Structure 1
Amino acid sequence: MTIADLHTLTGAYAVGALPEREAADFRGHLTRCAACAQEVREFRETAARLALAVAEVPPAALRVRVMAALPEVRQLPPVPAGARGRVVSLRDRRWRHRLPYLAAAACLVAAAVATGVAVEARRDADTQRDRGVVAEQRARVVSALAAAPDAAFHTGALTGGGSATVVSSTRLGAAAILYRDLPPLPGSRVYELWYSRDDVMVPAGLVDTKDPSGSLLLQGHPNGAVGVGVTVEPHGGSDTPSGSPLVVVPL
Structure 2
Amino acid sequence: MRQLPPALPPAAPSRRRRKVGWRPWPAAVGVAAALAAVAGLGVATMQARQELAQVRRAEQRIAAVLGADDARTITAPAGRAGRGGRGTVVLSRSQGALVFWAAGLGEPPEGRVYQLWQLAPGRITSAGLLASSGSGGTVPVLSALSAGAGRVGVTVEPAGGSRQPTGTPLLLVDLPAA
- Using the size of structure 1 for normalisation, the TM-score is 0.51
SS at match of 2:106: coil
Larger strand fraction of residues? 2
Note closer, same or farther for the CA distance 1:126–1:242 as it changes in structure 2 (3 Å cut).
same
Show the counterpart of 2:41: 121
SS at match of 1:144: helix
Show the counterpart of 1:140: 60
CA distance in 1, matches of 2:84, 2:44: 35
Show the counterpart of 1:205: 127
Deviations 1:109-144 (A, max 9, x none): 432332232222223222212211211111111111
User: Does the alignment pair 1:249 with 2:169?
Assistant: no
Show the counterpart of 2:141: 216
- Taking the TM superposition and a 5 Å limit, the aligned residue runs for 1:40-119 are 98-99=20-21, 101-102=22-23, 104-105=24-25, 107-119=27-39
- Cα drift, residue 145 of structure 1: 1.1
Percentage identity across paired residues of the two chains: 29
- Using the size of structure 2 for normalisation, the TM-score is 0.68
CA distance in 1, matches of 2:54, 2:125: 22
CA distance in 2, matches of 1:202, 1:108: 60
Show the counterpart of 1:164: 87
CA distance in 1, matches of 2:34, 2:52: 26
SS at match of 1:249: strand
- AA in 1 matched with 2:111: S
Larger helix fraction of residues? 1
CA distance in 2, matches of 1:181, 1:127: 34
SS at match of 1:171: coil
Residue correspondences, number: 153
Deviations 1:60-118 (A, max 9, x none): xxxxxxxxxxxxxxxxxxxxxxxxxxxxxxxxxx77x531x23x555434323322322
CA distance in 2, matches of 1:109, 1:120: 16
The 8 Å contact of residues 196 and 228 in structure 1, kept in 2 or not, is answered as yes
Show the counterpart of 1:64: none
- Cα drift, residue 243 of structure 1: 2.1
CA distance in 2, matches of 1:113, 1:210: 39
Larger Rg, first or second structure (1 or 2): 2
The 8 Å contact of residues 64 and 95 in structure 2, kept in 1 or not, is answered as no
Structure 1 unaligned runs (5+)? 1-93
- Cα drift, residue 152 of structure 1: 0.8
Structure 2 unaligned runs (5+)? 1-16
Deviations 1:4-46 (A, max 9, x none): xxxxxxxxxxxxxxxxxxxxxxxxxxxxxxxxxxxxxxxxxxx
CA distance in 2, matches of 1:136, 1:234: 29
Show the counterpart of 2:161: 237
- Cα drift, residue 208 of structure 1: 4.7
Note closer, same or farther for the CA distance 1:208–1:225 as it changes in structure 2 (3 Å cut).
closer
The 8 Å contact of residues 190 and 206 in structure 1, kept in 2 or not, is answered as no
